[in-house]
Amino acid sequence: MITLIKRILKSGWKNFSREKSLIVANIFILVLAISTLTSLFILKDASQFLISSIEEKVDISVYFKLEASEEDILKVKDDVAKIPEVKEVKYISQEEALVSFTNKHKEDLVLMQSLDEVGVNPFSASLNIRAFEASQYQAIADFFNSSTLTNLVEKVDYYKRKPVIDKIFTFVSSMNMLGIAFSLLLIIIAVSIAFNTIRLAIYSSREEIKIQRLVGASNWFIRGPFLVQGAICGFFAFLICLVLFSLLSWIFGPKTEFLFPGFNLLTFFLVNFWTIVFIQLASGVGLGVLSSLFAVRKHLKI
């Protein structure tokens, strides 16, 4: 058994070393396939980061009546924080609302003069609420429609912001669906090209396969060298891709922060290094072996 394995490995390496032009073509195609899969993995996280950044900018505010006590408002805040859809809730007091308004409009002298003439703080205390997803704000708004809160709540601005929130929800859903469809399409194309390229390489050895079959060689003895050859091609393609993506991450890592603030390609690559290694190695060797396995099947029939 060990002798058989050694012969298969030796024959596989011999096949790999013999037809250099076809081997180079196989490795090049596998590099493209692995690069496609790796890029999809990176783009998936980059797009999720972008979507999360957009959703982070969405929130709703609940304004309370002037006579509502801070104790009651903080109790409502605690109840809101227990809602499963709520990611974050922040209490903004009347004083904080006044300071924020003043800082924002301090250059508008007429507005500042009008505020001074009022003589009292006209701003209501409020809760700023952020959900995990844009689709969850309706459930949060429904919570404040209960009769127990009508004597405290002045207004909920969800319905004013609802058109924008709905557009964001539609955009996020469309992005996810398009991402899945595009990923599947690219994976199918990459696998098909890799399979056909390796099949052409094996086609050049069809006469040798037929002779081995006629003299009584077993199917696995014939398959083995081609599977080894495919694995070697996949391994070299993996090494090339790993070096390529390492260089690209190092060169373009800081620059990606200009496009996606907070997202650094180099940091992402280092954090997910072993995941990327697994994806590239598994896809490279896997594609090489599986493509060889299926491509050699038709030549085993005489």
pLDDT at 41: 83
Note the pTM of the prediction, 2 decimals. 0.61
pLDDT at 243: 93
pLDDT at 277: 93
pLDDT at 214: 60
- What CATH number has the domain spanning 59-162? 3.30.70.3040
pLDDT at 273: 92
pLDDT at 134: 72
User: Which residues of the chain fall below pLDDT 50?
Assistant: 4, 302
pLDDT at 238: 92
**Domain map of the chain by residue range?**
2-54+170-300, 59-162
Question: Alpha-carbon distance 162 to 302, whole Å?
Answer: 68
Question: How many Cα atoms are found within 13 Å in the side-chain-facing hemisphere of 164?
Answer: 11
pLDDT at 233: 83
For residue 10, how many other CB atoms are within 10 A of its CB? 12
Q: From edge to edge, which strands make up the β-sheet containing 60-64? A: 86-92, 126-131, 60-64, 153-156
Question: Alpha-carbon distance 197 to 217, whole Å?
Answer: 26
